[in-house]
């Protein structure tokens, strides 16, 4: 049984504050009166998947939610509960995702997090994107303690943990003595393919994977590693156990999901989750049937989480806070269980100064205007929060894939098709001036583009692998270049077989979901050879399980975001025009329920009456979605700047799990 408390929007009343107002309203769930809760409470404030949404001042002078607001909020909590009773933690993926991370290889983010005073951090999959040497440098420059019970160095033949699996913190009690709380770290085994696989190789010449994350196709190794760390922490005197997890739920391998892991373990009280970019507070049961709280705060500072443990009663309270760029305020009855209390904490000026200094350094390198766009190009759905580019075709996905294709053409290649993974397209590109920074933010990973020869069968297999989770979002969902079209049969289960992270083929005799694949109007010939353009993450590293694309040598081109810049300036003559209008893209992908007339006749020898109708494409974002402050989109916060000044609760969720000390 899983009980989920999701984001709620309180829209009964709205107001606007001038951009000059220098306070930020941070709503707090009224789980208990501060004075009562302060008596020996353990308070854990948590973030995850910030992805470089630091909260720098935008072009209009507005400051979206970010680290300076977090630092001020932490200071407030410490003033209420006591310095020694408040801990600040992060569940991974902080250093990659926007231009500041790309330009500084993550160092600027570590510097800002040091200023905020993070206590404990775990690595997410994207902490490894800059390679192991830079990863170690970032860890060495961080003030926070890093944990992981499943990240191992296998070079000696015997797996050795790279970090301590857990740490125990002691919190003072009012009557004297302390309560001991253990923090255990765990990172998804999908990191081996969801980051840059070459980070884990022995060398570029020897692709032997010398690091591991307790990966296996059943998830049993991961559960054993976590349970072992929990048992050690309990034996060392921990009275509560908090699991810091970069695992996630929706769209993740079922054997490595956070709720699956909890169901296989015991002795965990709280899971602070990350990776799947969802916002939730849940109560799930462990293998003994005991309640465990799981909380995740979305992505790019869409929310900040708070866990409050009352040692005297064993009660655990969890809440997350959602924010908007404009003020959305509702006065509610304090007796209402959904009552939201708003308190203005302002901003920590010293932290904001560090953020602005880093942002100015990046702006000096990347603020050049390279063109303009006449249309909005979308990575998100209309809610400004849910990934569209990972779930269906979008006009931004079309634009990026086309840029890769034409970049290869400009370099003397005769490419047939280009792919880009939805997970590599990181933010909307809105109408107006387009800067170098804007295009780096779309493709922030500095992936090396390259091209190779593949068979038509390889292309068909790759598209089938891409569609395996549809309609669920998937970071490895492929956006494709002009000329390639196909249909996904949504009534057919995916035939793809994965062995852990590895593609293992297709189920014998199973139908395929992807149909009618054509290139410039001609059916793909499985035996023919085609020239594919993509990035080295797929064509060299075999990322995303696309091993069928790594069979032949590659020829290197430039960086992915350089391709976007050249495409705008050279091929589009500085203007992204109406040819890309329409959030749902240019019709390269369609979906269908049931066989079409030709398929039916071939199988049955007769025509259905009436013939099944094609399913409508997935819902498209509105042409003018609401501001994306919740996801840290810089262009969107410009549009909302006039209303900015006080952020408000779009929702708050809280649960109380009566959990006795074990």
CA 103 to chain centre: 20
Q: Label residues 434-461 b or e (16+ Cβ within 10 Å = b).
A: bbbbbbbbbbbbbbbbbbbebbbebbbb
What values do phi and psi take at 166, rounded to 5?
-155, 165
Using 50, 70 and 90 to split pLDDT, how confident is the model at 631? Answer: very low
Interatomic CA distance for residues 50 and 69, integer angstroms:
14
- Laid out side by side, the sheet with 575-576 consists of 432-435, 369-373, 575-576
**Pairwise pLDDT comparison (649 vs 262), residue with the higher score:** 262
Point out the least confidently predicted range of 252-261, 320-329, 428-437.
320-329
What's the pLDDT band for 321 if we cut at 50, 70, 90?
Answer: low
Asked if residue 649 has pLDDT above 50, the reply is no
Cβ(434)–Cβ(371) under 8 Å? yes
Distances 315 to 1, 177, 239, 507, 657 between C-alpha atoms, Å: 20, 19, 13, 48, 6
The H or E element that residue 242 is part of is strand 240-246
What does the pLDDT read at residue 659? 41
Mean pLDDT of the 343-359 span: 85
Tokens 């390679």 belong to: 131
Coil, helix or strand at residue 5 = strand
pLDDT exceeding 70 applies to what percent of the chain?
79
Q: What is the pLDDT of residues 240-290, one digit of tens each?
A: 999 999 999 988 889 999 999 999 999 999 999 999 988 888 999 999 999
Mean pLDDT, rounded, of the chain? 82
Q: What is the pLDDT of residues 56-74, one digit of tens each?
A: 765 556 566 789 989 988 9
pLDDT grade for 312, boundaries at 50, 70 and 90: confident
Q: Tell me if 138 sits within 8 A of 4, measured CB to CB.
A: no
**Mean pLDDT value of segment 166-186:** 95
- Measured between alpha carbons, how far is 519 from 294 in angstroms, rounded to an integer? 46
Antiparallel, parallel or unpaired: β 589-592 and 303-310: unpaired
- For β-strands 279-285 and 270-272, DSSP reports them as unpaired
pLDDT of residue 345: 64
What whole-number distance in Å separates Cα of residue 576 and Cα of residue 595? 37
pLDDT at 374: 98
Q: What is the pLDDT of residue 58?
A: 57
What ranges in 443-488 are assigned the alpha helix state H?
456-466
Mean pLDDT of all residues in 129-139: 93
* pLDDT the model gives residue 446: 86
Per residue in 493-502, pLDDT tens?
A: 999 999 877 8
- Please, which pLDDT band fits residue 640 given cuts at 50, 70 and 90? very low
Average pLDDT over residues 104-116: 97
pLDDT at 542 over 90: no
pLDDT the model gives residue 598: 66
What is the Cβ-side half-sphere exposure of residue 581, based on CA atoms within 13 angstroms? Answer: 5
Q: How confident is the model at residue 17 (pLDDT cuts 50, 70, 90)?
A: very low
Amino acid 56: pLDDT = 73
Q: Which two tokens stand for residue 304?
A: 């900040």
Length reported for the chain: 662
How far is the first Cα of the chain from the last one, in angstroms, to the nearest whole number? Answer: 22
- Using only C-alpha atoms, the chain has a radius of gyration, in whole angstroms, of 25
Residue 552 has pLDDT above 90, yes or no: yes
Highest mean pLDDT among 323-337, 504-518, 622-636 belongs to 504-518
6 pLDDT exceeds 60? Answer: no
- Check whether 176 has a pLDDT greater than 50: yes
Higher pLDDT, 420 or 363: 420
| Model confidence pLDDT, tens digit, residues 447-497 | 889 999 999 999 999 999 999 999 999 999 999 999 999 999 999 999 999
In sequence order, the β-bridge partners of residue 530 are: 454
Of the pLDDT bands very low, low, confident and very high (cuts 50, 70, 90), residue 340 is very low
> What's the confidence (pLDDT) of residue 35?
43
Q: Would you state the pLDDT for residue 61?
A: 60
What pLDDT is stored for residue 599 in this prediction?
A: 66
Mean pLDDT of 606-623: 46
The answer for residues whose C-beta is within 8 angstroms of residue 453's C-beta and 6 or more apart is 529, 530, 531, 532, 552
Q: Which residue bears the tokens 């909307």?
A: 428
What's residue 318's pLDDT?
83
pLDDT at 208: 86
Residue 377 has pLDDT above 50, yes or no: yes
Q: What gap in Å lies between CA 227 and CA 266, rounded to an integer? A: 7
Predicted pLDDT of residue 202: 86
Higher pLDDT, 500 or 402: 402
CA-based angle 122:256:461, to the nearest 5?
115
Q: Give me the mean pLDDT over the 369-393 stretch.
A: 94
Please give the structure tokens belonging to residue 174.
Answer: 């009012």
Q: How many CB atoms are located within 10 Å of the residue 139 CB? A: 16
- Report pLDDT digits (tens) over 205-244: 787 889 999 999 899 999 999 999 999 999 999 999 999 9
Quick one: pLDDT band at residue 111, thresholds 50, 70, 90? Answer: very high
């Amino acid at each position: 049984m899983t009980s989920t408390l999701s984001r709620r929007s309180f829209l009964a009343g709205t107001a606007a504050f001038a951009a000059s107002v220098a306070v930020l309203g941070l709503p707090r769930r009224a789980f208990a009166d501060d004075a009562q809760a302060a008596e020996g409470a353990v308070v854990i404030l948590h973030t995850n998947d910030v992805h470089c949404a630091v909260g720098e001042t935008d072009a209009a002078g507005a400051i979206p939610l970010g680290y300076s607001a977090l630092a001020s909020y932490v200071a407030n909590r410490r003033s209420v509960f006591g310095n020694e009773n408040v801990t600040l933690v992060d569940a991974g993926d902080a250093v990659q995702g926007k231009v500041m991370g790309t330009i500084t290889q993550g160092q600027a983010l570590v510097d800002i997090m040091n200023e905020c005073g993070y206590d404990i951090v775990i690595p997410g999959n994207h902490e490894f994107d800059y390679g192991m040497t830079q990863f170690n440098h970032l860890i060495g420059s961080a003030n926070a303690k890093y944990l992981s019970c499943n990240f191992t160095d296998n070079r000696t033949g015997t797996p050795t943990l790279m970090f301590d699996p857990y740490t125990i913190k002691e919190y003072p009690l009012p009557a004297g003595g302390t309560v001991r709380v253990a923090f255990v770290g765990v990172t998804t085994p999908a990191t081996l393919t969801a980051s840059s696989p070459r980070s884990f190789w022995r060398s570029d010449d020897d692709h032997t994977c010398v690091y591991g994350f307790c990966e296996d196709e059943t998830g049993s190794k991961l559960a054993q590693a976590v349970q072992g760390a929990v048992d050690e922490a309990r034996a060392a005197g921990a009275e509560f156990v908090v699991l810091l997890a970069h695992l996630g739920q929706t769209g993740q391998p079922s054997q490595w999901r956070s709720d699956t892991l909890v169901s296989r373990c015991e002795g965990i009280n709280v899971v602070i989750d990350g990776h799947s970019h969802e916002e939730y507070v849940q109560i799930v049961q462990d293998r003994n049937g005991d309640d465990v709280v799981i909380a995740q705060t979305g992505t790019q500072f869409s929310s900040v989480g708070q866990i409050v443990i009352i040692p005297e009663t064993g009660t655990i309270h969890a809440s997350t806070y959602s924010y908007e760029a404009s003020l959305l305020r509702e006065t509610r009855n304090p007796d209402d269980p959904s009552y939201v209390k708003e308190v203005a904490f302002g901003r920590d000026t010293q932290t904001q100064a560090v953020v602005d200094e880093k942002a100015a350094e990046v702006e000096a390198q990347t603020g050049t205007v390279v063109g303009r766009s006449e249309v909005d190009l979308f990575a998100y759905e209309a809610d400004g929060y849910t990934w569209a580019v990972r779930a269906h075709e979008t006009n931004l996905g079309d634009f990026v894939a086309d840029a890769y294709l034409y970049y290869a053409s400009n370099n003397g290649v005769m490419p047939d098709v280009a792919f880009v993974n939805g997970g590599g397209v990181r933010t909307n590109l809105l109408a107006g001036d387009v800067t170098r920074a804007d295009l780096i933010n779309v493709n922030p990973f500095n992936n090396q583009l390259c091209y190779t020869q593949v068979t038509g069968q390889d292309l068909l297999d790759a598209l089938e692998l891409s569609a395996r989770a549809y309609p669920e979002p998937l970071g490895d969902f492929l956006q494709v270049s002009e000329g390639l079209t196909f249909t996904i049969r949504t009534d057919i289960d995916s035939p793809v077989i994965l062995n852990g992270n590895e593609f293992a083929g297709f189920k014998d005799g199973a139908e395929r979901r992807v149909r009618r694949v054509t290139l410039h109007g001609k059916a793909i010939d499985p035996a023919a050879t085609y020239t594919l353009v993509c990035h080295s993450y797929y064509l060299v590293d075999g990322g995303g399980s696309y091993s069928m694309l790594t069979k032949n040598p590659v020829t290197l081109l430039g960086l992915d975001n350089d391709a976007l810049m050249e495409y705008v300036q050279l091929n589009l003559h500085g203007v992204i025009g109406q040819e890309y209008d329409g959030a749902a893209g240019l019709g390269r992908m369609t979906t269908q329920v049931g066989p079409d007339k030709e398929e039916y006749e071939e199988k049955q020898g007769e025509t259905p009456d009436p013939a099944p109708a094609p399913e409508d494409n997935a819902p498209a974002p509105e042409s003018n979605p609401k501001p994306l402050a919740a996801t840290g989109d810089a262009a969107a916060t410009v549009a909302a700047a006039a209303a900015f000044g006080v952020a408000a609760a779009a929702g708050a969720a809280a649960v109380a799990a009566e959990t006795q000390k074990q």
